């Protein structure tokens, strides 16, 4: 692990299912954790405790995060002006690429840094947008099965998050759906579909902002898409397959939707596949069809 260098330094980051902290020859982050017990000064969303002993550091903590910090020695490397990667979200996607990814870190917006590029396993990401000095978004390229390095580069330097993104055959996007007012909606996942992943979520890009949607999970696939209920949208899941599951989708103000879909700890699921899709209702200010609905692409999920 690596240290954020300076005389005294600390990091506060929200909890995540997979903690990914980068390292390089000249940059380290030490004493990093994603959960803490809280204590000390507290509020409904923050609890802090400080016990800074000589050369030993201390904690600032809450239920959701903890940062440990202390005195750095003069032998530690100096801070870099180049990019630094903390992690990527989601950290897993289909082999075909096309997954919208958010990268968190430091120094993404330094003056004189010029254009920023992001690579996944050597392939360049598209639609790179630097949102701030600590956040950027991009769309990953196609890749080979397994863990791949993520590299962020600009004119000042670069940083590599080793094995930062996992390409899996367990997620396969198919079909076109029926676009909404923001364009075609891409269904994805928050991480790999491993058994015993209670935090697993379905995600949906270009949904209506701050809205509710319906997620459908079926044992049957409708690859071409059909509309058996005459609702004006293409369904890529079999609506009449036994065991059809409905999920609650909610979207944030940017139009990114989420639906909780916990995967139980059941080894018999490994190798089995289900098919998922999202359906959204849009404001009548944007007429779409007889019921003002849209549908996402389909997603084949094979449990690993």
pLDDT digits (tens, 9 = 90+) for 282-302: 998 898 989 999 999 999 999
Q: Average pLDDT over the chain, rounded to whole?
A: 82
Q: How far are the Cα atoms of 63, 231, 245, 299 from residue 14, in angstroms, in the given order?
A: 10, 40, 31, 28
Distance CA 1, CA 24 (A): 9
pTM of the model: 0.75
Residue 181 scores a pLDDT above 90: yes
The least confident of 51-60, 72-81, 102-111 is 51-60
Location of each CATH 2.60.40.10 domain in the chain: 84-167
Query: Is residue 132 exposed (0-12), middle (13-18) or buried (19+ Cβ within 10 Å)?
Result: exposed
pLDDT at 24: 47
The per-residue pLDDT for range 121-161, each reduced to its tens digit, is 999 999 999 999 999 999 999 999 999 999 999 999 999 99
CATH class of 171-302: mainly beta
Burial class (CB in 10 A: 0-12, 13-18, 19+), 276: buried
Beta-sheet pairing, 221-226 with 41-42: unpaired
Over range 62-74, report the average pLDDT: 54
Q: Which superfamily does 84-167 belong to?
A: Immunoglobulins (2.60.40.10)
- Closest to 83 (Cα-Cα) out of 172, 160, 175, 190: 160
Confidence class of residue 50 from pLDDT cuts 50, 70 and 90?
very low
**pLDDT (0 to 100) of residue 124:** 97
């Amino acid at each position: 692990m690596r240290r954020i260098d300076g005389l005294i330094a600390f990091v506060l980051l929200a909890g995540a299912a997979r903690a990914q902290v980068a390292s390089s020859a000249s940059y380290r982050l030490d004493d990093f954790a994603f959960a803490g017990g809280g204590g000390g000064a507290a509020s409904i969303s923050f609890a802090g405790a400080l016990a800074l002993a000589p050369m030993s550091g201390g904690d600032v903590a809450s239920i959701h995060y903890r940062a440990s910090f202390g005195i750095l020695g003069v032998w530690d490397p100096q801070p870099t002006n180049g990019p630094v990667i903390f992690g990527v979200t989601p950290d897993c996607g289909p082999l075909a690429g096309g997954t919208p990814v958010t990268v968190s870190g430091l120094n993404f917006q330094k003056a004189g840094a010029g254009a920023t590029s992001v690579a996944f396993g050597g392939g360049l990401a598209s639609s790179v947008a630097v949102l701030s000095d600590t956040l950027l978004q991009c769309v990953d390229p196609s890749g080979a099965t397994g863990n791949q390095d993520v590299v962020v580069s600009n004119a000042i330097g670069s940083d590599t998050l080793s094995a930062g993104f996992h390409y899996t055959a367990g997620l396969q996007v198919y079909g076109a759906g029926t676009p909404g007012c923001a364009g075609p909606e891409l269904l994805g996942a928050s991480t790999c579909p491993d058994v015993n992943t209670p935090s697993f979520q379905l995600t949906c890009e270009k949904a209506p902002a701050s809205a509710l949607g319906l997620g459908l999970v079926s044992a049957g696939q409708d690859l071409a898409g059909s509309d058996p209920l005459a609702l004006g949208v293409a369904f890529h899941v079999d609506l009449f397959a036994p065991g059809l599951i409905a999920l609650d989708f909610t979207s944030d103000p940017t139009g990114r939707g989420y639906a909780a879909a916990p995967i139980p700890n059941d080894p018999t699921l490994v190798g089995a596949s289900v098919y998922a899709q999202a359906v959204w209702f849009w404001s009548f200010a944007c007429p779409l069809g007889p019921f003002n609905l849209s549908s996402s692409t389909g997603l084949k999920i094979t449990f690993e």
